[in-house]
Structure 1
Amino acid sequence: MAVVTPAALADAVRAAAVRVLGDRGVDPDVVPRAVTVERPRNPEHGDYATNIAMQVAKKAGVAPRDLAGWLAEALADEAGVASAETAGPGFINIRLAADAQGAIAAQVLAAGADYGRGDAMAGRRVNLEFVSANPTGPLHLGGTRWAAVGDALGRVLAFQGADVTREYYFNDAGAQIDRFVRSLLAAARGEPTPEDGYAGAYIGDIAAAVLRAEPNALAADDPAEVFRRVGVGMMFEQIKASLHAFKTDFDVYFHEDSLHASGAVAEAVEKLKASGALYLEDDAWWLRSTEYGDDKDRVVIKSDGEPAYIAGDIAYFQDKRARGFDLCLYLLGADHHGYVARLKAAAAALGDSPDTVEVLIGQLVNLVSAGKPLRMSKRAGTVITMEDLVDAVGVDAARYALIRSSVDSTVDIDLDLWAKRSSDNPVYYVQYAHARLASLMRNADDLGVTADAVDLGLLTHEREGDLIRTIGEFPRVVATAAELREPHRVARYLEELAGAYHKFYDSCRVLPQGDEDPGPLHAARLALCAAARQVLANGLGLLGVAAPERM
C-alpha cells in the first residue's frame, strides 16, 4: 500500500530501520518507538526528512552516514516513495510519488468530518473543569479566555477518543458570596457599596431584579438569605447565558456548597486524619503536602474549626474520582500557580496517583484599542467583560484570538485588528479561505465540473504538493494538541493551511475558463480543493469557530 500520510511514512521509516539493522545483526530495540518525520523548510530538500540515522547510529555502532545510506536504499523501494537520499551528517530526504501524495486528498474526502479523528485517548474518562468563575459578577477576560480554550480543548480531546465531561465548579460558598450579598443589599437599600463589596452597574441591576422577584425581600426576617438565594442564582444564570452565547456549554454545574452540605468535606478530612496525612498543630489540622512535593504544608481545618478552601478541593477531587474519572484537568487563572502542587498533593494524600491531576495555568489577557491599553478594575466597577470583547470583535474572532496563543503566555488583543475584515485578521484569513472554497464549489457545480473518479496523480505542481502535504499534517497536529493540551496548535495550523491554499489558488487554475472544456486536471484540482475545505471546516469546528459559506 502506498505511503501517503506523515504518520504512515514515519511507520515505514521505523520499519525500514528495524529491518536494516536486524539484517546486520544489530538489536532493533535501539530504534525508538516514535520516529520523527518532518517537512523541511527548504522544499529542495524533499517532501519530508528524518534524522533517524543520527538518532540510533551510536547505539547501533555504525556511522550515521552509512546507516542513512542503507535506510535511504530501503525506503526508495517503499510503495509511494519516489526517492530517498542522504544529506548532511545523516539526514534522509524523501520525496513521495504524486499519486501517493494525491491519495491524501482521497483520504480526506472519504473520511469527511472524521478526518483527523484519532483514538489515542480512547477509554479515558476526562473531567475538564474550566471557567468556574465566582458568581459575583460578569465574566472577566481571564474567565473568557478559559471559556474559549477549555471548550476547544474538550473538543480536541474528544476528537482523540476521550470521554470528556465539561464541568463548571460553582463557588457558592465562602467570603466572596457574603461580600456579593452585602453589595446587593446595600444597592437595594440605596446605601453606598460596602468597603469590601463589589461595585458596578450590574450590582444595581441584580438588586432591582431581586426586588421585582421578591418585593418583600428587604422586610423579610433574613433579607440577606433572600438576596443570597435569589441574587446569586440570577448572577449565575447571567453567566451561563453569556457562556452559551459564546458557544461554551457545560455538562455539569457542580455546586461547592453541596460538598459541605452533604458531609463530603468532613468525610474527606476524617479519611486523611485516619491515614495520618493530616496532623494537628496550633489547634489547626494541616495536610502533609510537603511530603508530596508541595512547597509548604497546607491548613485544611483552621484553628476556629472552619474548613479552609483546600478542604473543599480535596473533597471535590475525591468526588470526581468516585464518579469514575481517570484524568482530572483543571484550567486555572494566573494567580493559581500554587494550586498545581497542592492539588497533586491532595490526590497523593488520598492514596491516588498525582498523575490523575493536571493543572493548566492561563496567563492574563490585555485589550488594546487605538494603540492604548484598556484597563480593568473590577472593584472600581469598570469591568471589561466577555460581552465587551464580543461586542467589539464578534464571537468567532474573540474565541479565535483567545485560543491561538499558548495559555502560558500573556495575550494582547488588538480590538482594531480583530475587527478588521482583511487578511491581517487571522480568523478572517482562515474563514475567508473556507468561504472562497465554498464559492469555488458552487461555481464548479454551475460549470458541471465534478471531483468524481479523478486521477490525483496529476497533481504535480509545487503548490499542489505543498497544499497536499499541509492537509496531511492535520491528524498529527490534532493528536499533538490533545497530547500536550494545546489547542492553539490547531489554530496556527489552520493559518498555515489557509496560506497554502491561497498560494495554490493564485498559481493553479482550478476551473475551466471561456469555452474550455472541463478536463482531468480540473477535476483533480477540484478534489484537492474539496479536501482543503473539509480540513478547514474540521479544524474550525474543533475551535468552536464558524466555517462560513459566504463572506
Structure 2
Amino acid sequence: MTPEQLSDVVRSAVAAAVERGVLSVAVPDEVVIERPKNPEHGDYATNVALRLAKAAGRPPREVAEVLAAELRGVEGVSAVDVAGPGFLNVTLAKDALGQIAVRVVAAGEAYGRTEVLAGQRLNLEFVSANPTGPVHIGGTRWAAVGDALGRLLTASGAQVTREYYFNDAGAQIDRFALSLLAAAHGRPVPEDGYAGDYIGEIAAQVVAAEPGVLELPEAEQQERFRVLGVDLMFAEIKRTLADFGVVFDVYFSERTLHETGALEKAVARLREQGHVFEADGAVWLRTTTFGDDKDRVLVKSDGETTYFAADCAYYLDKRERGFDKVVIMLGADHHGYIGRYKALVAALGDDPDVNLEILIGQLVNLVRDGEPLRMSKRAGTVVLLEDLVAAVGADAARYALARASVDQQIDLDLDLWSRQTNDNPVFYVQYAHARISSLLRGAADLGLPLGEAGDVDTAALAHQREGDLLRALGEFPRVIASAAELRAPHRVARYLEELAGTYHRFYDSCRVLPRGDEEATPVTTARLWLCAATATVLRNGLAVLGVSAPERM
C-alpha cells in the first residue's frame, strides 16, 4: 500500500464514520500521509484528526480514536495507534507494504506519474539567450532546470510547451552584425560590440556562404551579416542545447512580432483597456496603476517600439495560443523585471497571480583546484555550456545544476563532479542503478527470473532495511507531485540520493542471491522484485532530471 493508497483509505474511514453518524464533518479532499521520523512509530502517520477536530467540535484525540477504530478493520492495516495531541500512526501488514515493490515494477516508466496538474496548459519559457553568442553558464543552469521542470510538470499531468524566445531584433542584433562585419574586414570590434573567438568564426562562415558579401555596399554588408550571422549563431545555440539534451517545442522569433503587426495589435488592445497615454511625443503604458514603480514607454518619440512593447505582444500571443499560465524563467539580473511584467498582464485584463509565474535563478560559479574559473577562450569573457560539459560531462552538469534550489547561488566544484567516486552525487545515484542492473543480470544467469507478480510472497520482506526501502519507494509519486507544484526539481535529486543510500544499506544487510549450492527461497524472489522496483524508481527519477541511468559503470 503506497502513501497515495493509504490517503484514500483514510478518507474512506472518515466517510464511513460520517455515514455511521459517529463523526459530523465534511470529508476532506486530501489527507496528508507522512513517514514518521522514528520507524518504531509505524509505517505512516497522518494529522487528519487534528485538522477535523474544530469542525467536529470534539478534542483531536477523540476524533483520532474514532478514525483509528475504522482503520483497524481495513485489510492491509495491522495496527493503528493514537499519539500525542491526536496523530494517527499506521502500521501496514507486511504483505501490504511489500506490494509497493510489485506495483512499482508493474507500472514501470509510469510509476511516479500523477494527475495533480491535469487540465493545466502551461507555456514554459526558459534560456531565451540572445542569438549574439554561445550559451553561457547562467543560461546552462536554466537549460538544466527548465528542462527538468518541464519533465516534472508533464509527469504531474500538465500539458507543457517548452518555448525559446530569441531576440533577433533590436540594437543588440545591430551591434552583433557590426562586430561580425568588423571581424570579416580584420578591423577592431566596435567598442560596444561583441568579443571572443566565436565572432571571427561566425564571420568566416558568413563569408564562406556568400563569397562576394564584402564587395557589397556597407549597408547591404551589414544586413547580410545580420541575417546570416543570427541564423548561424542560433543554429549553434540549438545544437549545443540539443547535445545537452534540451530541445524546445517552439522557437519564437521576436522579429515576427514586428513583421506580423502583433506589436500594433498589443498597443491597440492596451489602449482599449484605457491604460495607454501619450507624453513627450511617446506612447506610454500606465503600469503604476498596477503596482509598477514607474510607467513604461511602448513607442518612443521617434516611432520605434520598445522591448517592453514586444513583451506585451509576446504575452498576448501566448495567451491567444490557449495557454492558461505563462511561466518564465529569468536570471538574477532580471529581478526588477517582475513588477513591470505583472503590470502588463494586469493591464491586458488578466490576473498576474493566475496567468503568470516568473522564476528567478541565482548565479553559478565554477571552481577548479579551489580557484574560480572565470573565462572561456572561445567566448573571451564568460564560461560556456560546452566548457562545463567538456569538464564534467552532460549528465553530471545537468544533475549538478538541477540539484540546488534555483534561488541559491551555486559554487560548482569541477573536481568533485568529474570524479568517479561516491562523494560525487550523480555517480552515487547512477552507481546504485548500475549495481542493481548487475545483480539482476546475475540472477538471470542463475536462472532466477522475476516471474509473475502473483507468485511473489511480499510478506517475506520483513527485515527493517526492506521496510525502509519499500517506504522510500512509496514516497516517489508524492516527491514528483510536490516538486512539480513547488517548481523544485532539486527535490527529486535529493530524494534519489536518499533512495540510493537506503538501497546500499539494504544491500549490505540483506543478501539477495543464493551462494554456492544454496536454493532460492521466496525471500530471494521477493528481494529481487524489491531490487527491480528500486532500479525502476532510480531510472524514472533520473529521467525527470534528463540524466541517464547506466546499467554498467
Structure 1 vs Structure 2: percent identity of aligned residues?
A: 62
The one-letter code of the counterpart of 1:277 is: H
SS in 2 for 1:28: coil
2:163 aligned to which of 154, 161, 167: 167
Alignment correspondent of 2:487: 485
- Aligned residue runs from structure 1 range 243-322, under 5 A: 243-322=241-320
Q: Tell whether 2:233 aligns with 1:240.
A: no
Match of 1:461?
463
Structure 2: which amino acid aligns with 1:74? Answer: E
Residue 56 of structure 2 aligns with an amino acid whose one-letter code is: A
Distance 1:63 1:118 in 2: 35
2:180 aligned partner: 184
- Give the direction of change, closer, same or farther, for the CA distance of 1:380–1:321 in structure 2 (3 Å limit): closer
Cα contact 1:199–1:379 (8 A) shared by 2 = no
1:235–1:46 CA distance, 2 compared to 1 (3 A): same
On the 8 A contact 2:197/2:379 being kept in 1, the answer is no
* SS of the residue 2:462 aligns to: coil
CA distance in 2, matches of 1:123, 1:380: 43
Matches within 5 A, 1:110-129: 110-129=106-125
1:353 maps to a residue whose letter is D
Q: Is it true that 1:348 corresponds to 2:350 in the alignment?
A: no
Instruction: Please say if 1:11 is aligned against 2:8.
Output: yes
Residue 505 of structure 1 is matched in structure 2 by: 507
Provide the C-alpha distance between the structure 2 equivalents of 1:342 and 1:484, rounded to a whole number of angstroms: 23
Q: State whether residues 115 and 535 of structure 1, in contact with CA within 8 Å, keep that contact through their aligned partners in structure 2.
A: yes
The separation in 1 between residues aligned to 2:346 and 2:12, in whole angstroms, is 40
What is the match of residue 219 of structure 1? Answer: 215
In 2: Cα distance, 1:40 partner to 1:26 partner: 26
Q: Which moved more, 1:405-414 or 1:432-441?
A: 405-414
Q: Residues 389-468 of structure 1 correspond to what in structure 2 (within 5 A)?
A: 389-452=388-451, 453-468=455-470
The Cα shift of 1:184 comes to 1.1
Residues 437 and 529 in structure 1, CA contact (< 8 A), matched pair in contact too: yes
Deviations 1:487-517 (A, max 9, x none): 2221111111111111111110010001101
AA aligned opposite 2:381: T
Whether contact under 8 Å (1:198, 1:379) holds in the other structure is no
Deviation at 1:52, TM superposition (A): 2.0
State which drifts further: 367-376 or 382-391.
367-376
**8 Å contact kept, 1:286–1:299:** yes
Shift of 1:7: 1.3
SS in 2 for 1:155: helix
The one-letter code sitting in structure 1 at the alignment partner of 2:241 is L
Q: CA deviation at 1:91?
A: 1.8
Aligned partners of 1:118, 1:434: CA distance in 2, in Å? 23
1 CA distance for matches of 2:322 and 2:18?
A: 45
Q: Secondary structure at the match of 1:169?
A: strand
Q: After the TM superposition, which segments of 4 or more aligned residues of structure 1 sit over 4 Å from their partners? A: 21-26, 376-380
Which stretch of the first structure deviates more once superposed, 91-100 or 293-302? Answer: 293-302
**Inter-partner Cα distance in structure 2 for 1:179 and 1:379:** 19
Q: Which moved more, 1:479-488 or 1:540-549?
A: 479-488
1:377 to 1:201, Cα distance in 2 relative to 1, 3 A: closer
1:326 corresponds to: 324
Partner of 1:505, secondary structure, is: helix
Q: Which residue of 2 aligns with 1:529?
A: 531
What amino acid is aligned across from residue 243 of structure 1 in structure 2? L
Residue in 1 that maps onto 2:134: 138
Deviation at 1:219, TM superposition (A): 1.7
- Counterpart residue type for residue 345 of structure 2: A
Cα distance in 1 for residues equivalent to 2:136 and 2:2: 42
CA distance in structure 1 between the aligned counterparts of 2:375 and 2:31, rounded to whole angstroms: 47
Shift of 1:92: 1.7
Q: For 1:24 and 1:379, how far apart are their aligned partners in 2?
A: 75
Question: 1:25, CA displacement in angstroms?
Answer: 6.0
Distance 2:109 2:376 in 1: 43
What's the counterpart of residue 193 of structure 1?
189
Q: Are the structure 2 counterparts of residues 294 and 27 from structure 1 closer, same or farther at C-alpha, using a change threshold of 3 Å? A: farther
Q: Deviations over 1:254-279 (max 9, x none)?
A: 10011011110011111211221212
Q: Does 1:49 align with 2:49?
A: no
How far apart, CA to CA, are the structure 2 residues paired with 1:454 and 1:415?
45
Whether 2:59 is the aligned partner of 1:68: answer no
* Residues 425 and 497, structure 2, Cα contact 8 Å, conserved in 1: yes
Deviation at 1:20, TM superposition (A): 3.5
Counterpart position of 2:32: 36
Classify the secondary structure of the residue corresponding to 1:368.
Answer: strand
Q: Is the 8 A contact 1:199 1:378 kept in 2?
A: no
Residue 34 of structure 1 deviates from its aligned partner by: 2.6
Q: CA deviation at 1:22?
A: 6.1
Taking structure 1 as reference, are residues 27 and 342 closer, same or farther at Cα in structure 2, changes over 3 Å only? Answer: farther
Query: Shift in Å at residue 338 of structure 1?
Result: 2.6
What is the aligned-residue RMSD (CA, Å)?
1.8
Rounded Cα–Cα distance in structure 1 between residues aligned with 2:150 and 2:9: 32
Q: Is the 8 A contact 2:430 2:550 kept in 1?
A: yes
Question: Using the alignment, how far apart are the partners of 2:288 and 2:314 within structure 1?
Answer: 21
Name the counterpart of 2:17. Answer: 20
Q: Secondary structure at the residue paired with 2:124? A: strand
TM-score (norm 1): 0.96
Distance 1:295 1:84 in 2: 56
Asked if structure 2 preserves the Cα contact closer than 8 Å seen for 1:22 and 1:28, the reply is no
Q: Which amino acid aligns with 2:314?
A: Y
| Aligned residues of 1:200 and 1:383 also touching (Cα < 8 A) | no
State the match for 1:385 in structure 2: 384
User: Partner of 1:126: helix, strand, or coil?
Assistant: strand
**2:114 touches 2:481 (CA, 8 Å); kept in 1?**
yes
Range that drifts further, 493-502 or 297-306: 297-306
One-letter identity of the residue aligned with 2:9: A
Which stretch shows the higher mean deviation, 113-122 or 126-135?
A: 113-122
- 1: CA distance between counterparts of 2:295 and 2:508? 63
- 2: CA distance between counterparts of 1:296 and 1:63? 53
What residue is the counterpart of 1:230 in the other structure?
Answer: 228
Structure 1 residue matching 2:165: 3-state secondary structure: strand
